[in-house]
Structure 1
Amino acid sequence: MQYGLIGGALGHSFSKEIHEQIASYTYDLMPLTESAFHTFMEKRDFKAINVTIPYKKAVIPYLDEIEEAAEMIGAVNTIVNRNGKLIGYNTDYYGFAYMVKKYRVSMQNKKVLVIGNGGASLAIQAVVKKAQPKELVIVDIARSKDAVDYEDVYHKHLDAEIVINTSPVGMYPKNDAAPIDLRLFHCCEAVLDVVYNPITTKLCYTAKQLGLIHANGLEMLIAQAKYAVEHFLHQKIDDQIIETIYQKLLRDKINIVLIGMPSAGKTTIGRLLAKQMQKPFVDMDERIVAQAGKSIPQIFAEHGERGFRAYETQIAMQLAKQENSVIACGGGIVKYDVNMEMLGQNSIVIYLERDPANLSSNDPTRPLSSSKEAVEKMYRERLPLYLQYSDITVKNAEEPAVVAKNCVQQIDAYIAKR
C-alpha cells in the first residue's frame, strides 16, 4: 500500500472515494488487528497514510517526528513517510475547525459537552479550548479525573449549550442509537456529530426536529482529508473542493424518501425519480407483503392496522441502514415518529402533495381508503405530519415525468443549501 487508511473496522468508510476525488493516487482501506497493526508500522512500507479508531494514539511511538499541534493533542491521524522517516500530523483538528466555522457555531463563554475521550475527541477538545468556552465537560463511559460519566451528565450538565459527539455511538450498523437523549437538554443551541454514516445520525435527527443547528461528520471527514492530502503531496488545495465533494457524496449516498397520501403517486413518481437519479427503487408496501407473505388486505384482516404498522416499522428499520435508494412509503408511515426517525437518518424526505379531490377513495388494496369521506378525514389528520417530516414539498399536478424532474431540481437545490 502506498496511500490509504488503517484502523479497526473500516467497512463504513467513505475515505477512499474522498481521497481519489481530491488526488490522482489509489487510496486503499486496510483494516488491521492489533498484532497486524504493529507489524505494519514496523515495516514502514507506505508513502503516506491516515489513521483511525483505535490506533490514533498507538501510532505515536513509531514516529520519528510529530508536528507541534499533534503532539499537544496527543493523537495522530496522518503520517507521511519522508525518506524513511515517519512524520505525524493531526488534520482532525482542522477538519473540525472547518465544520465549526461553516455552521457558525460560537462556543465562546458557552458550556460545551464533548462526548467521548478518544483520539478524535482530543483534537476536538483542542478546537473547543481555543474558542474559550465557559466550561468544557468531557463525557466518557467511566468517570475519571478528566471526564464525567453519563450519570453525571444527566444529574449535573443538562444545561449544556453545545453538544459534540466524538464517540462511535449511532454509527452504522447501529443507527438506532444515540449517546444522549437530546430532548432533555433545554439550553442546547447546536449539535455537532463526527459520525458520518448514517448521514444524519439519530442525535442529529433529534436536533433537526428540535430546530437546533446541527451538522454531521461528513464535512469534517472531507475537510480533514483535504488537509491530509496537502501533507501527502506537499501542495496547497483550495477549500472549495470540500464543498464540491460534500455535495457530490451527499447526492450519491442519500436516500430519497417519498411520503404522502395513498394514491398521491409515490410509486409512479418514485420509479421515474429513481431512473433519473440512477438509484435503486424500493416500494415499502411491496417489502411488507414480501416479509409478511400475505397481501396488505390480508394483514389488516388478520392483524388489524396495528399489526400492519408493526411490519411497516420493521421495514423502516431495515431501510434506515440502506443508502442511495428512492423509497416510496405507505400513506400512514408518518403516524409513528419512530418510522420517520429511522428513515430520516439517511434521507431527504419529499412530501408528494396531490389535490384531495384527485385521491382514490375506492381502492380494495387500501383498507383505509374506503370512501371519499374517509380519505378527506385522513388527509386532514395526516397533512400536518407530512409537512412536519418533509424537507421538500412537490406538487403532483402535472405529467409524472415532469413531477419527477421537479423533484430532482428541488433535491439539488436542497443539497446546495445544506
Structure 2
Amino acid sequence: MGAAEKGLGDAPYGLVGRRLGHSWSAQIHERLGSAPYRLVELEPDELAPFVRQGSWRGLNVTIPYKREAARLADVRSAAVERLGAANTLVRAEDGSIVAENTDVLGFAWMLSRFCRERIGASPRELLEGEKVIVLGSGGASQAVVDALSNTVGAESVVISRSGTETYDTLVERHADAVLLVNTTPVGMFPECPASPVPEGDLAALGGLRGVLDVVYNPTRTGLVLAAERLGLPAESGLAMLVAQALYASELFQGRDLDDSLVTEVERQIAGQAENVVLIGMPGAGKTSCGRELARLLGRPLVDLDDALKIEFGRSPAQIIEQDGEASFRTLETEVVRRYGARSGLVIACGGGVVTRPENHDLLRQNGRIVLLDRPLDELSSDGRPMSRARGVERLAAERMGLYRAWADVTLRCTGSAAGDAAAVRELLGL
C-alpha cells in the first residue's frame, strides 16, 4: 500500500500525525457528522504523497506536521499565513487543497466560555490590554497567542525553557498577569499529573484570575488541580479540542453547525472518558457496587486491591502482615498511579487509599470520586487487618473526614450493591 492510500480506507475524513496514541478525534467527528473518520500515523516521507495524492475530503493534522501541512496547501487562510501552520486541510471541488488553523478558533471559543461562566466577564472586559502568560513556544502556543491578540487584544508573554522569557523569572517579572495558559505537553498522558509550574510559583502569581491548559488528557491536568487547590478557576483543553473539531467539521461538510454542539459533545466525551472512583470504609461495598456499576455502564472494573495482588503476588492483607502498612501504602500508590491515568474505568479503592495525600490527584485527574457511606454497624472486619487491628470506630474517626473532603458526591448506601450502583449512575448522570 502506498502512502497516498495508507490508513483511511474508504473514509473521507481523518487525523494525520506521527504518533497519535490515544485520540478522541474519531468519536468527536462521528458526533459532529464528519464520519467515517480514521486515525493515520505517517512517517515524514509519507506525508506529502498522502496529502497531495490521497482520496480524502478533509484532514486534521497534528504534531509534528502542522507546518508541512501549511506548505503543502494551495490556498491558505489568513490565520495560516500568520502562523505558518495548519491543523485542517480541505480538498476543494477543483481538487485544490485549502489550509485552515481551527486551533485559533477553538481556543477563542474555550476562552470566551471560560471567562463568561467561570469568571463572570467577557474575554475583552477581562483581558484587553492585560498580560497573559503563555507557557510554551510551539504550534499550540502560536495559535493561543494569535487568538489572544486578535480576539481580545491581550498582551501575551511567552515563557519557554530557552526563550527571552524563562521559567526562572516567571514570578519575579510577571506576577501581574491576569491569565495563565499552558500550551506545553507537560502533564499529558501518560506523564500525569505533572505540572509545568510548581504550585508555589502559581500561588505567587498574585494577579491571576484563572488558568487554562490546552492538554485534554487527563481530564484535569496537574496544573488544573493545583489551580483548583488555590481557589482559581481552571480548565483543561477538552472544550478547545471539541471546538476546533467543530470548525473543522463545518469546513469538511460545507455547512454551519450549531455552537451548542461543543458543550454537548464535550459532555459526552467527558462522561465516556472519566473514571468513576469509589472510596469508603473497609466493608462499605465498593467492590460489589463497582461490579454492578461496571456492568450497567459497560466499563471495565479495576479493584485496586485485586490489581495489587496480581502485580505483586500477595494480597494487601499479606503485605501488611508481613511488611507493615507503610510498605503496602507505597505499593498501593504505584497501582493508583497506573490506573488513575487511564480513562473509562470503574475503580474500587481500598479503604485506606485516602491516607496518602498524593493519591487524591492521581485519582481525581481522570475521575469523579464517589463516597459510599455505610453505617458503621454494618461494616465487617473479616479479612481486613486494619479494621481488626484498630477497630472500625477508630478507623472511621481517622478517615471519614478525608473521605468527605475527597468526594465529589456522597451516596448513603441503599442496602444492596445493585441499588448502590443504580444510585451512583443517577448521581453522576451516566
- Give the Cα–Cα distance (whole angstroms) in 2 for the partners of residues 408 and 206 of structure 1: 28
User: Contact 1:266–1:352 at 8 Å: present in 2 too?
Assistant: yes
* 1:156 aligned residue: 173
Of the candidates 78, 81, 105, which is equivalent to residue 88 of structure 2? 78
Is 2:389 the counterpart of 1:368?
Answer: no
The aligned amino acid for 1:93 is: V
- Give the Cα–Cα distance (whole angstroms) in 2 for the partners of residues 398 and 110 of structure 1: 55
SS in 2 for 1:274: helix
* 1:32 aligned residue: 42
* 2:4 aligned residue: none
- Give the Cα–Cα distance (whole angstroms) in 1 for the partners of residues 365 and 147 of structure 2: 27
What does 1:109-188 correspond to in 2, within 5 Å? Answer: 109-129=129-149, 130-133=151-154, 135-144=155-164, 148-186=165-203, 187=206, 188=208
Unaligned runs of 5+ in 1: none
- Give the Cα–Cα distance (whole angstroms) in 1 for the partners of residues 34 and 144 of structure 2: 29
Deviations 1:342-390 (A, max 9, x none): 1211111111112233333x42x2111126x732222122222212222
- Give the Cα–Cα distance (whole angstroms) in 1 for the partners of residues 239 and 142 of structure 2: 18
Is 2:235 the counterpart of 1:223?
Answer: no
User: Contact 1:107–1:131 at 8 Å: present in 2 too?
Assistant: yes
Is 2:311 the counterpart of 1:291?
Answer: yes
Deviates more, 1:13-22 or 1:152-161: 152-161
* 1:407 aligned residue: 424
* 1:264 aligned residue: 284
Count of matched residue positions in the alignment of Structure 1 and Structure 2? 406
**Change in 2 beyond 3 A, CA 1:33/1:301:** same
User: Contact 1:200–1:344 at 8 Å: present in 2 too?
Assistant: yes
| Deviation of the 1:235 alpha carbon | 0.4
| Alignment TM-score, normalising by the size of structure 2 | 0.89
User: Contact 1:44–1:84 at 8 Å: present in 2 too?
Assistant: no
User: Contact 1:4–1:48 at 8 Å: present in 2 too?
Assistant: yes
| Deviation of the 1:285 alpha carbon | 0.9
SS in 2 for 1:59: helix
- Give the Cα–Cα distance (whole angstroms) in 1 for the partners of residues 399 and 322 of structure 2: 25
User: Contact 1:158–1:185 at 8 Å: present in 2 too?
Assistant: no
The aligned amino acid for 2:109 is: Y
| Deviation of the 1:45 alpha carbon | 4.1
SS in 1 for 2:211: strand
| Deviation of the 1:224 alpha carbon | 0.8
- Give the Cα–Cα distance (whole angstroms) in 2 for the partners of residues 173 and 40 of structure 1: 29
Of the candidates 14, 25, 28, which is equivalent to residue 18 of structure 1? 28
* 2:325 aligned residue: 305
| Alignment TM-score, normalising by the size of structure 1 | 0.91
| Deviation of the 1:182 alpha carbon | 3.2
Of the candidates 91, 110, 126, which is equivalent to residue 102 of structure 2? 91
User: Contact 2:16–2:42 at 8 Å: present in 1 too?
Assistant: yes
SS in 1 for 2:388: coil
User: Contact 1:159–1:185 at 8 Å: present in 2 too?
Assistant: no
Deviations 1:60-111 (A, max 9, x none): 2222211123322332111111122111111111111111122225434543
**Change in 2 beyond 3 A, CA 1:385/1:159:** farther
Of the candidates 111, 124, 127, which is equivalent to residue 100 of structure 1? 111
User: Contact 1:158–1:184 at 8 Å: present in 2 too?
Assistant: no
Is 2:413 the counterpart of 1:396?
Answer: yes
| Deviation of the 1:20 alpha carbon | 1.6
The aligned amino acid for 1:85 is: S
SS in 1 for 2:60: strand
The aligned amino acid for 1:32 is: L
**Change in 2 beyond 3 A, CA 1:163/1:265:** same
User: Contact 2:188–2:218 at 8 Å: present in 1 too?
Assistant: yes
* 1:60 aligned residue: 70
User: Contact 1:262–1:330 at 8 Å: present in 2 too?
Assistant: yes
Deviations 1:120-148 (A, max 9, x none): 22111122223233x4211223124xxx2
| Deviation of the 1:183 alpha carbon | 3.7
The aligned amino acid for 2:153 is: Q
User: Contact 2:372–2:410 at 8 Å: present in 1 too?
Assistant: yes
Is 2:374 the counterpart of 1:354?
Answer: yes
* 1:248 aligned residue: 268
- Give the Cα–Cα distance (whole angstroms) in 1 for the partners of residues 419 and 266 of structure 2: 27
- Give the Cα–Cα distance (whole angstroms) in 2 for the partners of residues 228 and 396 of structure 1: 46
- Give the Cα–Cα distance (whole angstroms) in 2 for the partners of residues 274 and 7 of structure 1: 33
The aligned amino acid for 1:376 is: E
SS in 1 for 2:144: helix
Unaligned runs of 5+ in 2: 1-7, 120-125
**Change in 2 beyond 3 A, CA 1:261/1:159:** farther
- Give the Cα–Cα distance (whole angstroms) in 2 for the partners of residues 19 and 245 of structure 1: 9
**Change in 2 beyond 3 A, CA 1:387/1:290:** same
**Change in 2 beyond 3 A, CA 1:45/1:139:** farther
- Root-mean-square deviation (CA), in Å? 2.0
- Give the Cα–Cα distance (whole angstroms) in 2 for the partners of residues 89 and 61 of structure 1: 12
| Deviation of the 1:257 alpha carbon | 0.4
Is 2:228 the counterpart of 1:208?
Answer: yes
The aligned amino acid for 1:383 is: M
The aligned amino acid for 2:107 is: F
User: Contact 1:74–1:119 at 8 Å: present in 2 too?
Assistant: no
* 1:341 aligned residue: 361
Of the candidates 298, 317, 322, which is equivalent to residue 278 of structure 1? 298
SS in 2 for 1:103: helix
* 2:255 aligned residue: 235
- Give the Cα–Cα distance (whole angstroms) in 2 for the partners of residues 177 and 330 of structure 1: 24
Deviates more, 1:6-15 or 1:21-30: 21-30
User: Contact 1:60–1:75 at 8 Å: present in 2 too?
Assistant: yes
The aligned amino acid for 2:35 is: Y
